[in-house]
Amino acid sequence: MAGKSNSGKKEKEIAERTAPPGDIVYQAIYDEGEHELQRSSSALGLSGLAAGLSMGFSLVTEALLRAHLPQAPWAPLVSKLGYSVGFLVVILGRQQLFTKNTLTVILPLLKKKEIALFGNVVRLWTLVLLGNLLGAFAFAWLLVNTTLFDGDLHRAFSEIASETIKPAFGTILLRGILAGWMIALMVWLLPFAESARIWVIIILGYIVALANLPHVVAGSVETFYLVASGALSLSHCIFGYLVPTLIGNVIGGVALVAVGAHVEFTTATAQ
C-alpha cells in the first residue's frame, strides 16, 4: 500500500512539474472563445469600451517614464516598459481587447465552419473593435482637453504619437502582422502561465513597444491624441494608421497563430 501511495505521489508531482500538452492549451483557449461568443452585445460593447479606456494607461505610463528620463540612447529601454501597463489592466481585468479575440473566437469558427457562427464572430469583432476605439478616443480627448497632466507630459505624448504615425502604410502593415502575432502568442501562453502571467504580458508587451510594432488599440490612443490636439487629420489617422494596423494585426493573429494552431492540434487529434 505504501508503495502505491508513494508511486501516486510521484506521478502527481511529475504531472505538476510537466508543462501541459499543446492540445490542452488549445482546448482551454477554444473553450474561452466559445464563452466569449455567448456573451450579449451590450456586455461585449461595454467591456470593449472599458478596454479602450484602459489601454490609455500604456501611453500615460510610457510618457511618464520618458518625461523623467534623460535624453540618452538607452532611455527607450526603460520608457518602453510603460507600454505593457495597459495590457496588464485589460488582460488581467478580463476586458475585451480586439487583438486578443482574433485568436480565441476564431478557433471555434475554424473547427465548426458554420455560417451562423461566422456571423457571431463578426458581431463580436465589430462590437469589441468599436468599443475599443471609442474608449481610446475618449481617453485621448480627455488628455488633450483637461488639465490632468502638465506640459512636460504633453510633450512626451506628442513625441510618442508622432513616432507611431511616422512609418509608411506598407511598413505599418508589415509591423502590424508581427504585433498581431506577438499578442496572439501572449494569449496562447497565458492559460497555463500561472504565477508567471504578469511576466508574460510585460515581456511580450515590452518587445512590441521596443520594436515599434503597431497595435490597433494602443496605437489609436496615441494617434487620436494628435487628432484631438489638431496635429493630425482624422482621415490620415484612419487610413494612414488604423487601417494598415488593423489589417496587419488580424493577419498576424489569425493566419499565423490561430490557423497554425488549429491545423496542428486538430490534425493531431484526428490521427
Domain residue limits, the chain:
20-270
Q: How far apart are CA 76 and CA 82, in angstroms?
A: 10
E strands, the chain, are: none
Per-residue confidence (pLDDT) for residue 176, from 0 to 100: 96
Cell numbers of 166, please? 511616422
Mean pLDDT score, 40-53 = 95
| Own/partner pairs, 7-12, CB within 8 angstroms, 24+ separation | none
Alpha-carbon torsion angle 154, 76, 70, 162, nearest 10:
-30
Separation between Cα atoms, residue 202 and residue 91, nearest integer Å? 11
**Sign, CA torsion 132/26/178/122:** negative
pLDDT above 70 covers a percentage of the chain that reads 85
Please report the pLDDT score of residue 15 as a whole number: 46
242 within 8 A of 223, measured Cβ to Cβ: yes
Q: At residue 140, what is the residue type?
A: A
Residue 209 clears pLDDT 60, i.e. is over it: yes
**Cell numbers 529601454: residue:** 77
* DSSP letter (8 states) at residue 39: S
Question: For the domain bounded by 20-270, which CATH number is listed?
Answer: 1.20.1080.10
- Report the chain's terminal Cα–Cα distance, integer Å: 38
The type of residue at 144 is V
Mean pLDDT, all residues of the chain: 87
Closest CA to 125 of 95, 101, 94: 101
CA–CA separation, 230 and 151 (whole Å): 16
Q: Please tell me the total number of residues recorded for the chain in this structure.
A: 271
pLDDT above 60 for 262:
yes
- Residues above pLDDT 90, as percent of the chain: 65
Residue 268: name the closest of 100, 99, 25 by CA.
25
Please state the three-class secondary structure of 67-105 as a single string: HHCCCCCCHHHHHHHHHHHHHHHHHHCCCCCHHHHHHHC
Mapping DSSP to helix (H, G, I), strand (E, B) and coil, where does residue 69 land?
Answer: coil
User: Look-up: residue for cell 470593449?
Assistant: 48
- pTM across the whole model: 0.86
- Is pLDDT above 80 for 210? yes
Calpha distance 189→172 (Å, rounded): 25
